[in-house]
Amino acid sequence: MDELIPLVSEPVSTEAADPLATPLSALLRHGPVTCSPASPVREALARMRQENVGSILLTDTEGAPVGMFTLKDLRDRVALVTCDVEQAIQGVMTPAPFSLPDTATAFEAALAMARHSIHHVVVMHAGRVAGVISEKDLFALQQVGVSGIATALCQAPDLAGLQAAASDIRRLTRNLMAQGVGAEALTRLISQLNDGLTERILNLTFADLKGVTWCWLALGSEGRFEQTLFTDQDNGLIFVAPEGETAVLREPLLAAARRANEWLDACGFPLCRGEIMASNPKWCLSLEEWQHTFADWIFRGDAPVLLNANIFFDFRPLAGDPSLAAGLRAWLGDRIKGNRQFLKLMVRNALGNRPPLGLVRAFAVDGEGADAGSIDLKLHGTTPFVDAARIFALAAGQEETGTVPRLRTTGIAWKIEETEAWVAGFLFIQQMRLRLHQSQIEGQLPLSNRLVPETLSGVERQALKEAFRQAKKMQGRLDRLFQF
């Protein structure tokens, strides 16, 4: 039996040392600065100056938050509109401020800022206001923030504006990595911001498309919320077509999708070499055509088909009408859950990719030329976890697409206690991929998932070997559960 070696946090950052895992209660430096909604703007500004804060929370007579007033509101709603500092502040406040419990993490606050283009989050404790967290509280080292990027994305008028925002996303990523932000939070945040970028591109490139109900599907790592610094495009389109009009409706969708794919490429997301993109007629399909495509994969189930089709099972809606994706997901779940023969074929395909553990040496390295003596951290590192998590989720009829939530729900659905060790192994390898990409960027080298184990410290090699062992154990459990 293999000796268990715990995953370590030094010298590699892990989730335990992640600053975004800090509860909001630990980030509050003082109580909330508040005023009544009926207070004049002048009094609110005086209070903000006295307390040296950039925002003030408006509360009702029971102390519940009803609005937020910031320096941005002063600029946009007072100085540029009325210049009336005697008016009641409720007329220029931002109503219904976003709130989280103080047990929530800094990551949850950061994600909210990215989703809603906000700079502040109200922190609640036992139903009462405990304080306000600003973006500056979350990211002391960063030069650009998530809400600023999200706002820029929403307002970007053209490709040039989107390219600037994409550059900011990459810079933010590097800053967060410098702070030791862990793989789970970082990849989720990257994906969330990239979602915003893609949505804005689709808003602009699909603006002239009328009379068609469509949904843009995120596939692969984007569909799983697991994008790193090294990722290309994987996407598709689903649309509704009346009988006999499928071909006619597809043409304008393909033209719009082609523009979107080109704009994404210009923003730093290379065109997919396998042409798994919405601009490819093979992946711009009506709901009925998608059902037929999945049914064919399920019926055939041979290894080459499943190898190429795997990422399509990780789809999620990104823009357009999400009910189309929900309908396809429900249809697919009905056909796969309990389909033991298809699941067995998926397992057989997944087990064909073993973690790179040697019998004598620590790692089974491969590669040619400059890559000699290396391992592929994606293909042989994270992919075994991704494939196994997908099978567990599909077999249980779960709709999760992310590997970590899939593994965690697997532990509950299948009563498997060791899933947290699998999660730790997956996230450790993800963290190493991120570090590898960062070092390649700093060295102005081509981005790759190839790592030479000999460049690691002894502790890092031990931890990586244990992560691969967890993948091996997970595959063993998968094999035993699906021996039917």
CA distance 215 to 235: 11
* Structural contact between residues 180 and 18, judged by C-beta atoms closer than 8 angstroms: yes
Rounded average pLDDT over 128-139: 86
The two three-digit tokens of residue 124, written as one number? 């609640």
Question: What pLDDT score does 7 carry?
Answer: 35
Report CA-CA distances (Å) from 283 to 96, 219, 258.
41, 11, 12
Question: What pLDDT score does 81 carry?
Answer: 62
User: pLDDT-based confidence at 140, cuts 50/70/90?
Assistant: low
Residues 6+ apart with CB under 8 A from 308: 274
Question: pLDDT tens digits, residue range 366-409?
Answer: 988 888 999 999 999 999 999 999 999 999 888 999 999 999 99
CA distance 115 to 121: 12
% of the chain residues with pLDDT over 70: 94
Could you give the angle at the alpha carbon of 328 between the alpha carbons of 247 and 227, nearest 5°?
100
Question: What pLDDT score does 3 carry?
Answer: 33
User: pLDDT-based confidence at 360, cuts 50/70/90?
Assistant: low
Question: pLDDT tens digits, residue range 247-288?
Answer: 999 999 999 999 999 999 999 999 999 999 999 999 999 999
Question: What pLDDT score does 139 carry?
Answer: 65
Phi-psi domain of 252 (left: phi exceeds 0; alpha: psi -120 through 50; beta: other): alpha
pTM > 0.75? yes
